[in-house]
């Protein structure tokens, strides 16, 4: 939609240009374990909460949108082959995802053939193409109504479940409107309801607590002194931050938000006594949303992001549809690595099955240990973390030199990559069509190859939403503040001047 409302430059000023920060490690690093960790989570969740009556009925409708961040076709093949090897399954084994594969999704953004998570998720949320870095705004940097906001307007319950920061690009696009994904302080402010539409997300579960705490707090990433935990409680939402509190939650008491300080742990590193799994968080969210809509003719919209990635539920709830799709592929994964000579046509799952920790966790430990017995410590890290007993001399020599944590992380991952004969074309995103999975009422409409915005179109049609109404409501607010030259620092388009100092 064109920006025909007010002065574009002034509108952009109100929206605010956040500082450019280096992309997070999550965005830049396509380590070996991405495919295994995301897919294992997806397979676990998909097998829990879905199925469908294909009748053209109009009973209560629910949409569960699962966005498997960075998950490409090669990653699914990786996971299937790995599971076949570990569990000694037949060659013709079908995963839960194989059974609901309906087509593919194209992933380009409006300004690049390679999309980032912000533009990729905005395509799902607003059903339009936009530029890389955009959070719920169109290419002219004007807010666009999202499927979550429209669902809330029409009486649906809404939820976000992620293992990333809740303020990270993908969840943010459904629940906020800023011109840069880096503006996470502003995103958090909008998510608790401090913007024109008020609180739109009934349930948020994920990481990112640091953006809800005042700047003077040691764990804070905020640019100001606002205490969004306190403000959220004043708006009727409870905040919880421990595994025990999570386990004790029951529907019917209050509405809740949970956030780890930063991202939640990779599944391979997760301490189950400290953090719930993505599967557990998704089950809890479904339980709450079902309770909230029990006496309503409206259902719910739930977005689940498996960024670190449901059938029984649909079988029991006709009118529910589950969609699982990636925003983009990461890493350019290839299941074979040919360095030189004649083709070998090999890749080995065995070295992957020995890994006990992510290279991210191992690199953190390696970065902070510089005692005289460092060589022995390196050997212990490689043995206990990667399952490799004999460290090559050149590996030991390289790891024994001062490096950045990211360099250690890449190198440790590549030790396993080389042994498994896995190749990576890039440490960033790539431009490939990603697999599209769907299960439930109306899911046949998603068969074939689709632009990513068509997934948003499907949700709009399925729930009978009106994104234009939400968009116009947001735009009227921008115009109002443009002509009145608002200076209120609490306004949801306020400028974000600072970097997040939390690494």
The larger pLDDT score, comparing residue 86 to residue 13, is at: 86
Q: Which two tokens stand for residue 69?
A: 């961040």
54 has binding-site annotation: no
Tell me which of 93 and 263 has the higher pLDDT: 93
Q: Which CATH number fits domain 8-17+32-53+64-332+428-483: 3.40.720.10, 3.90.79.10, 3.40.462.20, 2.40.33.10?
A: 3.40.720.10
Q: At 370, is the secondary structure helix, strand, or coil? A: coil
| pLDDT surpasses 50 at 493 | no
Cα(473)–Cα(144) distance, rounded to whole angstroms? 10
Most confident of 55-59, 237-241, 370-374: 370-374
Percent of the chain with pLDDT over 90: 56
Distance between CA atoms of residues 284 and 169, nearest Å: 23
- Per-residue pLDDT band at 235 (split at 50, 70, 90): confident
Work out whether strand 333-334 and strand 329-330 pair parallel, antiparallel, or are unpaired.
unpaired
Per-residue model confidence as pLDDT tens digits over 8-23: 444 343 343 333 333 3
* N- to C-terminal Cα separation, the chain: 37
What pTM, to 2 d.p., does this model score?
A: 0.82
Neighbours of 92 (CB within 10 A): 6
Cα–Cα distance measured from residue 63 to residue 52, given in angstroms and rounded to the nearest whole number: 12
pLDDT at position 425 is 86
Residue 168 assigned ligand-binding role? yes
Query: Helices 117-126 & 453-463, crossing angle to 10 degrees?
Result: 30
pLDDT at residue number 119: 95
Q: What is the 3-state secondary structure (H, E, C) of 152-217?
A: HHCCCEEEEEEEEECCCHHHHHHHCCECCCCCHHHHHHHHCCCCCCCCCCCEEEEECHHHHCCCCC
pLDDT digits 0-9 by tens, 177-232: 999 999 999 999 999 999 999 999 999 998 888 999 999 998 899 999 999 999 98
Which stretches within 278-421 are classed as H helix? 278-292, 312-316, 350-353, 359-367, 374-386, 393-399, 405-420
| pLDDT digit string, tens, across residues 99-123 | 899 999 999 999 999 999 999 999 9
- Which tens digits make up the pLDDT trace of 359-379? 999 999 999 999 999 999 999
pLDDT over 60 (residue 68): yes
Tens-place pLDDT, residues 243-275: 888 888 888 765 666 666 667 888 888 998 889
Weakest mean pLDDT among 66-70, 171-175, 239-243: 239-243
Least confident of 118-132, 363-377, 480-494: 480-494
Residue 328 burial (C-beta neighbours within 10 Å; 0-12, 13-18, 19+): buried
Catalytic residue among 109, 117, 220, 324: 117
- CATH 3.40.720.10 range(s) for the chain read 8-17+32-53+64-332+428-483
Name the 3-class secondary structure at 8: helix
Q: Verify whether residue 117 is a known catalytic residue.
A: yes
Is 429 assigned a ligand-binding role in the annotation? yes
**Which pLDDT belongs to residue 255?**
63
Q: For 386-402, how does the pLDDT look when each residue is reduced to its tens digit (9 = 90+)?
A: 999 989 999 999 999 99
């Amino acid at each position: 939609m064109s920006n025909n409302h007010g002065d574009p430059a002034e509108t952009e000023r109100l929206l605010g240009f956040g500082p450019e920060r280096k992309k997070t490690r999550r965005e830049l690093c396509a380590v070996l374990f991405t495919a295994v960790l995301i897919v294992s989570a997806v397979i676990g969740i998909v097998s829990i909460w879905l199925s469908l009556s294909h009748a053209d009925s109009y009973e209560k409708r629910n949409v569960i949108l699962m966005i498997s961040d960075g998950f490409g076709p090669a990653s699914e093949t990786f996971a299937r082959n790995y599971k076949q090897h570990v569990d000694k399954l037949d060659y013709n084994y079908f995963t839960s995802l194989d059974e609901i594969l309906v087509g593919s999704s194209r992933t380009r953004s409006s300004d690049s053939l390679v999309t980032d998570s912000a533009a990729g998720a905005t395509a799902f949320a607003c059903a339009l193409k936009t530029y890389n870095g955009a959070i719920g705004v169109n290419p002219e940097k004007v807010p666009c109504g999202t499927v979550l906001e429209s669902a809330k307007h029409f009486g649906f319950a809404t939820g976000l479940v992620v293992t990333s920061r809740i303020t990270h690009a993908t969840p943010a696009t459904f629940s906020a409107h800023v011109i840069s994904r880096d503006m996470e302080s502003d995103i958090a402010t909008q998510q608790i309801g401090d913007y024109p539409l008020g609180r739109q997300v009934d349930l948020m579960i994920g990481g990112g607590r640091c953006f809800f705490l005042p700047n003077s707090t040691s764990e804070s990433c905020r640019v100001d002194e606002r205490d969004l935990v306190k403000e959220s409680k004043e708006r009727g939402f409870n905040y919880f931050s421990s595994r025990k509190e999570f386990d004790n939650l029951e529907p019917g008491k209050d509405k809740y938000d949970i956030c780890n300080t930063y991202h939640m742990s990779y599944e391979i590193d997760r301490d189950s006594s400290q953090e719930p799994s993505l599967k557990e968080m998704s089950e809890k969210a479904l339980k709450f949303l079902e309770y909230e809509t029990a006496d309503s003719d409206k259902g719910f919209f739930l977005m689940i992001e498996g960024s670190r990635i449901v059938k029984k539920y649909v079988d029991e709830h006709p009118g529910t549809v589950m969609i699982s799709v990636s925003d983009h592929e990461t890493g350019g994964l290839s299941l074979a690595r040919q360095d030189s000579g004649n083709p070998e046509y090999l890749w080995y799952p065995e070295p992957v099955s020995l890994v006990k920790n992510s290279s991210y966790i191992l690199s953190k430990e390696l970065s902070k240990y510089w005692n005289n017995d460092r060589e022995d410590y390196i050997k212990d890290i490689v043995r206990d973390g990667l399952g490799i007993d004999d460290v090559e001399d050149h590996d030991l020599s390289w790891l024994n030199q001062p490096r950045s944590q990211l360099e250690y992380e890449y190198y440790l991952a590549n030790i396993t990559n080389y042994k498994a004969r896995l190749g990576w074309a890039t440490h960033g995103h790539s431009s490939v069509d990603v697999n599209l999975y769907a299960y439930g009422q109306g899911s046949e409409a998603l068969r074939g190859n689709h632009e990513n915005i068509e997934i948003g179109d499907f949700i709009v049609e399925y729930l009978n939403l009106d994104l234009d109404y939400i968009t116009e409501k947001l735009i009227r607010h921008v115009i109002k503040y443009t002509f009145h030259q608002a200076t209120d620092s609490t306004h949801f388009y306020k400028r974000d001047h600072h970097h997040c100092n939390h690494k």
